[in-house]
Amino acid sequence: MRPATREKLHSLPVDDTIVAVRGVDKSYGSTEALRGIELDFPRGRLTSLLGPSGCGKTTLLKIVAGLLDADKGTVMVDGKAVSGPGPERAFVFQDFALLPWATVLRNVAFGLELRGVPRGERDETARRYVAEVGLSGFEQKYPHELSGGMRQRVGLARALCVDADVLLLDEPFSAVDEQNRRKFQEDLIRLRNTQNKTFIFVTHSIEEAVYISDRIVLLSPRPGRVSQIIEPAIDRSGDPERIRRDRHYLDTVEEIWQGLKQYVD
């Protein structure tokens, strides 16, 4: 196993880019959230945006999602400039954003419902993804009857259900307890291997980023800029439990922590 490759900025060669961010700036009033972001996200991989709070990682994700407009610069998805939300991208929310008045099944099918897919068809698809995330038997429950971890599984199933190429996950496990989070991370690795999708994952947890990511984009705060791109060379084919004891995993976590330490107040 070779050590983690670390190179400056976006000079790392990317064979097949699905999402390209070009010169994106974003300010809220007088606060500069992002400055000059240049990034390529490779197809079929899981890329994490990692950084301390205030580095604009969620803002960047929402710009990619088309939920926020950049002040300057563009985001291209499959060569087309983003001007708003689109069917090729699906978002998973930090606070789950489930409809409290709808059952699990209807929540999972909500993306399809908005697209006008007929009831029978969308329920069938939703049922499949409810099973995929391990919630079979909970189809008729309401969100408040589920634990935090289960609610986020509903959010994930909803995103999978619309069959988008790019999944955008905004700190999806931060409101989930530690045990569920670990299980989730393992599931995500499995999902990444089985589903042919691109994942863009925002997190503030170094361990989480190193554990699940093919690629980690480190952002530095005030204003948010890309400070480093890291590709942890960790073999994720075997038992996911083993990774947490992998020497490269531990070394990479330590390296990133040394780099981020300076931003802790």
Q: Kindly state the smallest distance separating residue 124's Cβ from another protein, in Å.
A: 18
Per rule CB under 8 A, is residue 122 in the interface with another protein? no
Tell me which amino acid residue 63 is.
I
Instruction: Choose which of 111, 223, 224, 232 interacts with another protein (CB under 8 A).
Output: 111
Rounded CA-CA distance 48/59 in Å is 14
Rounded CA-CA distance 238/82 in Å is 37
Task: Count other C-beta atoms under 10 Å from residue 16's C-beta.
Answer: 10
Binding mask 45-64 for another protein (x = CB under 8 A): --------xx---xx--x--
Listing DSSP states for 26-61 in one string gives: EEETTEEEEEEEEEEEETT-EEEEE--TTS-HHHHH
Rounded CA-CA distance 11/242 in Å is 31
* Residues from 74 through 103 that contact another protein (CB under 8 A): 84-87, 89-91, 93-97, 99-101
Q: Kindly state the smallest distance separating residue 102's Cβ from another protein, in Å.
A: 8
Per rule CB under 8 A, is residue 144 in the interface with another protein? yes
Q: Kindly state the smallest distance separating residue 115's Cβ from another protein, in Å.
A: 7
With respect to another protein, which residue has the nearer C-beta, 14 or 68? 68
Q: What is the 3-state secondary structure (H, E, C) of 170-216?
A: ECCCCCCCHHHHHHHHHHHHHHHHHCCCEEEEEECCHHHHHHHCCEE
Per rule CB under 8 A, is residue 160 in the interface with another protein? no
Residue ranges binding another protein (CB under 8 A): 28, 53-54, 58-59, 62, 65-69, 84-87, 89-91, 93-97, 99-101, 110-111, 113-115, 142-144, 158, 162
